[in-house]
Chain A
Amino acid sequence: MTATATDPRTARLEASALTLGYTDTAVVRDLDLQVPHGKVTVIVGANACGKSTLLRGLARLLKPRSGSVLLDGEAIHRMPTKQVARTLGLLPQNPVAPEGVTVVDLVGRGRHPHHGAFGRWTSEDEQAVAEALALTDTLGLADRVVDELSGGQRQRVWIAMALAQGTDLLLLDEPTTYLDVAHQVEMLDLLAELNERRGTTIVMVLHDLNLSARYADHLVALHTGRIVAEGTPREVVTEDVVRTVFGLDNRVIDDPVSHTPLVVPVGRRHQLLQEDR
């Protein structure tokens, strides 16, 4: 919350010659990425292209095989993890709330990085939690038990927890999974709002290319662990790039609502029908 969009640096989080992988195979290869400061960056790609792995690497959950992730110019894996947690927040895919935990309790746990060895709950913590609940419209749920909420409510509560952490950077791994289309849009509106109101830099992995084009300031298309295209949605979402990344024949038209590119898949069945005509 301290740094705002007026920060002269353009990237506080960057990957440099980053190679990531599990056991033997490299999933992300020799990748360079600068996360634009104060913007919404969305990483897209086909299944198993390494987009979640890249996000995990940026969030220091995976150690680089080679290369590095830099946070404010420092190698993130060599920084004390609690210090990182005061700058960079993370919402993993499908987080699980412990049984019986109330909304306010869960959101309060987001304050952990700000507590010392024998940290006491302060009025500052209380204010941060209240603000996070208000921003995510979950104040009315404060005393409810998290695992009794609906999917959309639960996801907003998890975002509230990440917000209570009070970080300038927020990384999210598919925050819209398991949500219906209305809740997906609601979730992304909320994140766009946070970016505008607080200047929070957001990096997220999304499945839906069209929603990504709508909400991203900066779009990163990944294919077999490498960046294929990077830039504004208009620059990235072209018929050629979509064909390379997803192996899908497609048309790109103008989204009548947001005027961002809208991908219309062709598919084998319709291709045949077209040829018949």
Chain B
Amino acid sequence: MTQILDRRSATEPAAREAGDVVRRARRAPIRHHRRLVAGLVLAVVAAFAARVLLGDYTVTIPDFFRILGGEQIPGATYIVMESKLPRAVLAVLVGIAFGIGGAIFQTTLRNPLASPDIVGVSLGASAAAVSAVALAGWTGWSVSLAAVGGALAVALAVRSIAGDHGGFRLILAGIGLAAAMQSVIQYVFTRVDEWDVQLVLRWLTGSVNGVAWSTIGVLAAVLAVLLPATAWAARSLRVTELGDDTARGLGVGTGRTDLLMLLGTLLVAVGVAAAGPVAFVAFLAGPIARALNRGRTTLLAAGLVGAVIVLVGDYAGAYAFADLNLPVGVVTGAFGAPFLLWLLARGPLNGHRGRRAA
């Protein structure tokens, strides 16, 4: 034993040198993440500007700020203030909510398939919201509350059906419940007298079209509370993502995970209440952000990626096809399905064990 000790102490670098190695090694991933976030913020700003200024009715930047300042420009003011701007603002807000909510699910359940739009949480929120709107005539805050109730009910049901096993059992239970929620939404539409395709699509696949400023205000107010709370609770994610046993060993009980899941459910629910269950945004944002961050978990980047997806999806849905105005959910759904297949083809789905594709 003394031999080993001698060998170690002879080759052991000086403590200061070791500290330098640690500091350097710690800095690289943090720096990369900072650059990534800065790049994504720029992408959100660019997509936002394109959504508001370009399209079938182009607005110049000076005109845009004049309109914001309250000036009335015939035609332009109405289009910007009642159509383009609210759509873009809502797209950013729900993109962030779905992106972060989805990444929380995927990370804490250690499975990219366990996103709220696949395990039925988003559709649960939608089913409750559409029932409240179409059958009971609710508006504003009460719709959000109904959505939260629906999302929580589905989340709890999935959890109790899946038990402690997680993994595929949870996914299967979730897919079953998602189908059930979809049929609830369809049932509601058979019970209302007046409905149109846009309304059905909105609650089935999501849309940021034609949403009142007051609804956007409610969403912004709720996010102003939820996002800082999430940022605080997510600090324990660094430890809980190591697995339950290791996390307990490091002094983090399962209560922290439950709290994060609750916040993720709330984020998704309030997003659904405002824009419907915009298909696959929660599912796509996390893995894309993770891939951009060299495989590492990042909720912040997931939120920004979500915002970019919804902005670009809405823009493409509105203008890509000459005489068609597709809701954003149709576009994101069309991109989400191949991504799902790619994820399945890529290999293991029960956890983040799979090596990143080069």
Q: How far is the CA of A139 from the CA of B243 in the complex (A)?
A: 25
What is the distance, in angstroms, from B290's C-beta to the closest C-beta of chain A?
Answer: 7
Interface centre among B25, B253, B354 (most CB of A within 10 A): B25
Complex: chain A residue closest to B244, CB-CB: A61
The 0/1 profile, CB within 8 Å of A marked 1, for residues 184-205 of chain B is 0000000000000000000000
What is the distance, in angstroms, from B312's C-beta to the closest C-beta of chain A?
Answer: 26
Q: Which residues of chain A (113-163) have a CB below 8 Å from chain B?
A: 113, 123, 126-127, 129-131, 133-135, 137, 139, 142-143, 145, 147-148, 162
Complex: chain A residue closest to B291, CB-CB: A100
Given that A104-B26, A139-B21, A142-B21 are known contacts, is A82 also in contact with B297, CB under 8 Å in the complex? Answer: no
Q: How far is the CA of A105 from the CA of B238 in the complex (A)?
A: 9
Can you list 10 residue pairs at the A/B interface with Cβ under 8 Å?
A: A61-B245, A85-B250, A85-B251, A90-B245, A91-B249, A101-B296, A104-B26, A105-B29, A134-B12, A148-B355
Contact among A81, A105, A109, A147 with B355 in the assembled complex (CB-CB below 8 Å): A147
What is the distance, in angstroms, from A124's C-beta to the closest C-beta of chain B?
Answer: 11
Q: How far is the CA of A126 from the CA of B25 in the complex (A)?
A: 11
Q: Which residues of chain B (1-25) have a CB below 8 Å from chain A?
A: 1, 4-5, 8, 12-13, 15, 18-19, 21-25
Contact among A112, A129, A193, A196 with B239 in the assembled complex (CB-CB below 8 Å): A112
Q: How far is the CA of A135 from the CA of B241 in the complex (A)?
A: 25
Q: How far is the CA of A137 from the CA of B12 in the complex (A)?
A: 8
What is the distance, in angstroms, from B351's C-beta to the closest C-beta of chain A?
Answer: 7
Say yes or no: is A233 at the interface (Cβ < 8 Å to chain B). Answer: no
What is the distance, in angstroms, from A246's C-beta to the closest C-beta of chain B?
Answer: 27
What is the distance, in angstroms, from B2's C-beta to the closest C-beta of chain A?
Answer: 9
Q: How far is the CA of A81 from the CA of B26 in the complex (A)?
A: 27
Instruction: State the 9 A-B residue pairs at the shortest beta-carbon distance, nearest first.
Output: A100-B295, A85-B251, A90-B249, A82-B251, A130-B18, A142-B25, A92-B245, A143-B25, A104-B25
Residues of A in contact (CB 8 Å), total 56
Say yes or no: is B252 at the interface (Cβ < 8 Å to chain A). Answer: yes
| A contact patch SS | helix
What is the distance, in angstroms, from A108's C-beta to the closest C-beta of chain B?
Answer: 7
Q: Which residues of chain A (10-62) have a CB below 8 Å from chain B?
A: 56, 59-61
What is the distance, in angstroms, from A5's C-beta to the closest C-beta of chain B?
Answer: 15
What is the distance, in angstroms, from B32's C-beta to the closest C-beta of chain A?
Answer: 10
Contact among B24, B242, B243, B249 with A89 in the assembled complex (CB-CB below 8 Å): B249
Q: How far is the CA of A197 from the CA of B4 in the complex (A)?
A: 11
Contact among A101, A131, A189 with B18 in the assembled complex (CB-CB below 8 Å): A131
Say yes or no: is A110 at the interface (Cβ < 8 Å to chain B). Answer: yes
Complex: chain B residue closest to A107, CB-CB: B22
By a CB distance below 8 angstroms, the chain A residues around B165 are: none
Contact among A56, A61, A99 with B295 in the assembled complex (CB-CB below 8 Å): A99
Q: How far is the CA of A105 from the CA of B242 in the complex (A)?
A: 12
Q: How far is the CA of A108 from the CA of B22 in the complex (A)?
A: 9
Q: Is B1 in contact with A193, judged by CB distance below 8 angstroms?
A: yes
Q: How far is the CA of A210 from the CA of B149 in the complex (A)?
A: 58
By a CB distance below 8 angstroms, the chain B residues around A110 are: 250
Contact among A113, A139, A189 with B13 in the assembled complex (CB-CB below 8 Å): A139
Q: Is A100 in contact with B294, judged by CB distance below 8 angstroms?
A: yes
**Known contacts A61-B245, A104-B22, A105-B26; can you find 5 more A-B pairs with CB under 8 A?**
A92-B245, A101-B296, A113-B250, A133-B18, A189-B4
Interface centre among B23, B24, B26, B251 (most CB of A within 10 A): B251
Q: How far is the CA of A192 from the CA of B1 in the complex (A)?
A: 8
Q: How far is the CA of A189 from the CA of B2 in the complex (A)?
A: 11
Q: Is B13 in contact with A96, judged by CB distance below 8 angstroms?
A: no
Complex: chain A residue closest to B19, CB-CB: A130
